[in-house]
């Protein structure tokens, strides 16, 4: 008898892979992300806001009676907590709902870590609401510190406060972000609460892992490039010495144990601080920014497919960390705010040796917003190479080949 999986949101590729693996699919999708192809592939498609538990709970009860799904899967951030609650409500295998909640609540994660045996992986944090609470945090914990939303994603609304003079700008930024109604994925992330946490110095990495019945297998360490607030690119494998890599991977495994994660993919962001590895945040999902594509290119690991097939016993558990077959990297594209008038060089970038993809999100007539988060980037390039240096250099050349010209009310600006 064919097994049935409930899928919450995500890409059409998830549905394709589930059907390709021989599963029946019941899909609950938000109306903004519905793709007609899903209605052809899935056993049933329900259009609903799956982040609204009052709507979702009775809905999945009926779907479970009608279709008898035995697992619930999601690969999208807004679906993580609902998936955990569904599994718990219906007695299905999966990560505990509390784990899913902690991994989408940055303040809850900090409080949980700071109160337990993995406190050395964390830093002081507190909820903040206005300039007064920001000053109080700075007075108690010192500077610099970071301010960010409790439950957003994509580096949205992150400020580094280096001293008292930066307090008001951060407070004004918090208020402005709460008031915005034009945010991408605004139906899923309603900005309200903020936290402050002590700034963690040092280079940043992420650990991509997959858990098999509580056993965490590290698949790759991703090197990150940033300007201090926004991410500029990623590369695998990270260029690390053995001792630093061991410190990072050990910290990630301890973090996953502390959070209670038992199954499926994880993406843990870590900084190698002078006093040891510190967790920035973690997620029980695959990494964004197409890190999953880097992982497949460099290691041959399709985590999207694993996430679907492992719960049904359609794959053997991985027993050890895979060896890379090559290196892979990505660099993000940005442009000046305004209306796009011209895009040049994409074909040249795609023809570069080692080029894997040129992913442009804008074209003539598109609007480019000011760069306040990852969603304001205008595309990315991806490349492979025999080593990480080569893959990164190829991405740099590809990005430099692309020129995106925008027009504002005051001037034309070209950027790559």
Query: Going from the N-terminus, what domains does the chain have, and what CATH number goes with each?
Result: 4-94 (3.40.50.20), 124-198 (3.30.1490.20), 201-325 (3.30.470.20), 328-415 (3.30.470.20)
Lowest-pLDDT choice from 8-12, 129-133, 153-157: 153-157
Question: Is the pLDDT assigned to residue 369 strictly greater than 90?
Answer: no
Q: How confident is the model at residue 153 (pLDDT cuts 50, 70, 90)?
A: low
Instruction: Name 310's Cβ contacts closer than 8 Å, sequence gap at least 6.
Output: 210, 212, 263, 264, 317
CA distance 176 to 146: 17
Question: Is the pLDDT assigned to residue 294 strictly greater than 70?
Answer: yes
Q: To the nearest 10°, report the CA torsion of 112, 113, 118, 123.
A: -160
Q: What is the pLDDT of residue 355?
A: 97
Question: Is the pLDDT assigned to residue 398 strictly greater than 80?
Answer: yes
Q: What is the pLDDT of residue 101?
A: 95
Contact 220, 211 (CB under 8 A): no
Which residue would you say has higher pLDDT here, 268 or 32?
268
Q: What is the pLDDT of residue 287?
A: 92
Q: What is the pLDDT of residue 391?
A: 98
Average pLDDT of 362-376?
86
Q: What is the pLDDT of residue 155?
A: 58
Look at residue 29 and give its three-state secondary structure: strand
Which residue would you say has higher pLDDT here, 1 or 67?
67
Contact 381, 357 (CB under 8 A): yes
pLDDT tens digits for range 249-273: 999 999 999 999 999 999 999 999 9
Helices marked H in 343-407 = 346-350, 388-401
Q: How confident is the model at residue 228 (pLDDT cuts 50, 70, 90)?
A: low
Q: Which of 310, 302, 301, 260 is nearest to 284 (CA)?
A: 260
Planar angle of CA 327, 234, 100, nearest 5 degrees: 110
Q: Within 13 Å of residue 37, how many CA atoms lie on the same side as its CB?
A: 9
Report CA-CA distances (Å) from 67 to 9, 12, 82. Answer: 18, 20, 19
Q: What is the pLDDT of residue 112?
A: 97
Return the number of other C-beta atoms located less than 10 Å from residue 98's C-beta: 16
Q: How confident is the model at residue 329 (pLDDT cuts 50, 70, 90)?
A: very high
Q: What is the pLDDT of residue 415?
A: 58
Question: Is the pLDDT assigned to residue 293 strictly greater than 80?
Answer: yes
Q: What is the pLDDT of residue 158?
A: 86
Q: To the nearest 10°, report the CA torsion of 61, 64, 69, 72.
A: -10
Helices marked H in 7-52 = 12-20, 36-41
Question: Structure tokens of 407?
Answer: 């027009």
Q: How confident is the model at residue 39 (pLDDT cuts 50, 70, 90)?
A: very high
Question: Is the pLDDT assigned to residue 370 strictly greater than 90?
Answer: no
Return the number of other C-beta atoms located less than 10 Å from residue 318's C-beta: 15
Q: What is the pLDDT of residue 53?
A: 96
Q: What is the pLDDT of residue 154?
A: 52
CA distance 376 to 138: 30
Contact 357, 382 (CB under 8 A): yes
Average pLDDT of 200-204?
95
Phi, psi of 366 (to 5 degrees): -70, 150
CA distance 264 to 307: 6
Return the number of other C-beta atoms located less than 10 Å from residue 24's C-beta: 17
Phi, psi of 218 (to 5 degrees): -75, 130
pLDDT tens digits for range 85-136: 999 999 999 999 999 999 999 999 999 999 999 999 999 999 999 999 999 9
Q: What is the pLDDT of residue 305?
A: 96
Q: How confident is the model at residue 192 (pLDDT cuts 50, 70, 90)?
A: confident
Look at residue 164 and give its three-state secondary structure: helix
Average pLDDT of 279-298?
95
Q: Name the strand (E) or helix (H) holding 299.
A: helix 291-299
Q: How confident is the model at residue 312 (pLDDT cuts 50, 70, 90)?
A: very high
Mean pLDDT of the chain, nearest integer: 93
Q: Name the strand (E) or helix (H) holding 381.
A: strand 379-385
Q: What is the pLDDT of residue 371?
A: 82
Q: What is the pLDDT of residue 187?
A: 53
Q: What is the pLDDT of residue 373?
A: 72
Is beta strand 338-344 parallel, antiparallel or unpaired with respect to 367-368?
antiparallel
Lowest-pLDDT choice from 127-141, 220-234, 390-404: 220-234
């Amino acid at each position: 008898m064919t097994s049935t999986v409930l899928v919450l949101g995500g890409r059409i590729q998830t549905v394709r892979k589930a059907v390709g693996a021989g599963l029946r699919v019941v899909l609950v999708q938000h109306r903004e992300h519905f793709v007609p192809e899903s209605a052809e592939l899935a056993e049933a498609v329900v259009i609903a806001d799956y982040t609204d538990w009052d709507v979702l709970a009775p809905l999945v009860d009926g779907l479970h009676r009608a279709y008898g799904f035995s697992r619930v899967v999601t690969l999208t951030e807004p679906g993580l907590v609902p998936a955990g609650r569904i599994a718990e409500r219906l007695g299905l295998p999966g990560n505990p709902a509390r784990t899913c909640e902690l991994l989408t609540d940055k303040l809850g994660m900090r409080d949980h870590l700071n109160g337990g045996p993995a406190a050395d992986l964390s830093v002081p944090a507190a909820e903040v609401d206005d300039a007064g609470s920001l000053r109080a945090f700075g007075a108690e914990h010192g500077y610099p510190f970071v301010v960010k939303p409790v439950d957003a994603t994509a580096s949205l609304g992150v400020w580094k406060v280096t001293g008292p003079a930066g307090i008001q700008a951060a407070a004004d930024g918090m208020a402005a972000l709460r008031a915005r109604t034009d945010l991408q994925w605004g139906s899923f992330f309603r900005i309200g609460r903020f936290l402050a946490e002590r700034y963690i110095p040092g280079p940043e990495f992420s650990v991509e892992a997959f858990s098999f019945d509580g056993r965490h297998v590290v698949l790759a360490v991703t090197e990150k490039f940033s300007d201090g607030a926004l991410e500029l690119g990623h590369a695998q494998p990270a260029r690390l010495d053995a001792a630093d890599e061991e410190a990072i991977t050990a910290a990630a495994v301890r973090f996953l144990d502390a959070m209670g994660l038992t199954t499926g993919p994880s993406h843990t962001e870590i900084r190698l601080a002078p006093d040891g590895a510190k967790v920035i945040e973690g997620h029980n999902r695959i990494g964004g920014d197409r890190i999953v594509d880097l992982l497949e290119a460099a290691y041959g690991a399709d985590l999207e497919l694993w996430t679907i097939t492992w719960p049904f016993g359609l794959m053997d558990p991985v027993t050890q960390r895979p060896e890379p077959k090559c290196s892979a990297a990505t660099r993000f594209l940005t442009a000046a705010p305004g209306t796009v008038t011209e895009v040049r060089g994409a074909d040249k970038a795609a023809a570069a040796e080692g080029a894997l993809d040129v992913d442009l999100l804008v074209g003539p007539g598109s609007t480019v917003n000011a760069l306040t988060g990852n969603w304001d980037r205008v595309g990315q390039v991806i490349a492979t190479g025999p080593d990480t240096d080569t893959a990164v250099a190829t991405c740099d050349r590809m990005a430099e080949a692309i020129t995106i010209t925008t027009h504002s009310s005051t001037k034309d600006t070209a950027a790559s």
